[in-house]
Amino acid sequence: MEKKRDITENIDTSKDFKELRMEEVYKGYIQQESGQGYSCIFCGEYFEEGLIYTSRERMVTAEKAVIEHIEDEHGGVFKSLISLDKQISGLSDIQKSMLIAMFSRKDVKVIGEEMGISPATVRAHKFNLQKMKREAKIFLALMEVIENDSSLNNQCNTSIDEINKKELANPTGEDVFSLNLLHPFFTQCRYK
Ligand SMILES: [Zn+2]
């Protein structure tokens, strides 16, 4: 059997990770723009549309072949992403441990026992991960707007100084930037 590849060294360089769409990152493969096939984002292996592949001792389509390739060769998308170097993922060891425990659907108490921390600390880590998720979505959306909005006359009339001043002057208040007036999507950070 082929030796497992080192994922961090073999990320498909034909499309930089930052250029991948969210959907492509969590699926683990990209569909070529020409629609002619699929490439694994972790090693670049290409599966051509219209060809029949042999996977798990039966014949499958190209898309099914790339999905099974990711599971069989890389141990699945979760394992591939969580194994990425800190330089790429930005995740600390404790964050990775928490995500692995959450992926295994482990109970807070069990996670605490395994990691040698209290259930309250586990809940705090989970809360921080949910907070990171929300912040990452907002950041991602801002970057998408910047990169995809082609209007020539974009203007944001509010400067960062004005935003900060409003927050300071009116920390609880009636401003659009106040958490109180935002949709519950942005204000509810519940434990799951
Ligand atoms: Zn691969």
Burial 46-77 (b: 16+ CB within 10 A, else e): bbeeeeebebeeeebbbbbbbbebbbebbeeb
Given a contact cutoff of 8 angstroms between Cβ atoms, the answer to whether 77 and 63 are in contact is no
Given a contact cutoff of 8 angstroms between Cβ atoms, the answer to whether 192 and 127 are in contact is no
Question: Domains in the chain, please, with CATH?
Answer: 7-82 (no CATH), 91-148 (1.10.10), 158-192 (no CATH)
State in Å: Cα 67 to ligand 1 middle. 9
State in Å: Cα 91 to ligand 1 middle. 22
Confidence at residue 80, expressed as pLDDT on a 0 to 100 scale: 95
State in Å: Cα 90 to ligand 1 middle. 22
Each of the 192 residues of the chain gets a pLDDT tens digit; together they read: 444 444 444 444 446 777 888 899 999 999 987 778 999 999 999 999 999 999 999 999 999 999 999 999 999 999 999 999 999 899 999 999 999 999 999 999 999 999 999 999 999 999 999 999 999 999 999 998 998 887 766 677 777 787 777 667 665 555 555 555 666 665 554 443
| Selection from 81, 76, 74 nearest residue 4 by Cα | 74
State in Å: Cα 109 to ligand 1 middle. 36
Confidence at residue 11, expressed as pLDDT on a 0 to 100 scale: 46
Confidence at residue 34, expressed as pLDDT on a 0 to 100 scale: 79
Q: Which residues 6+ apart lie within 8 Å of 110 measured at CB?
A: 101
State in Å: Cα 39 to ligand 1 middle. 8
Between CA 142 and CA 57 the distance in angstroms is 45
State in Å: Cα 69 to ligand 1 middle. 6
Counting every residue written for the chain, the total comes to 192
Given a contact cutoff of 8 angstroms between Cβ atoms, the answer to whether 181 and 175 are in contact is yes
Which helix (H) or strand (E) covers residue 60, if one does? Answer: strand 58-60
State in Å: Cα 35 to ligand 1 middle. 19
State in Å: Cα 179 to ligand 1 middle. 43
State in Å: Cα 4 to ligand 1 middle. 10
State in Å: Cα 173 to ligand 1 middle. 51
Between CA 160 and CA 154 the distance in angstroms is 16
State in Å: Cα 84 to ligand 1 middle. 14
State in Å: Cα 140 to ligand 1 middle. 25
Spell out the SS3 assignment of 130-180.
HHHHHHHHHHHHHHHHHHHCCCCCCCCCCCHHHHHHHHHHCCCCCCCCCHH
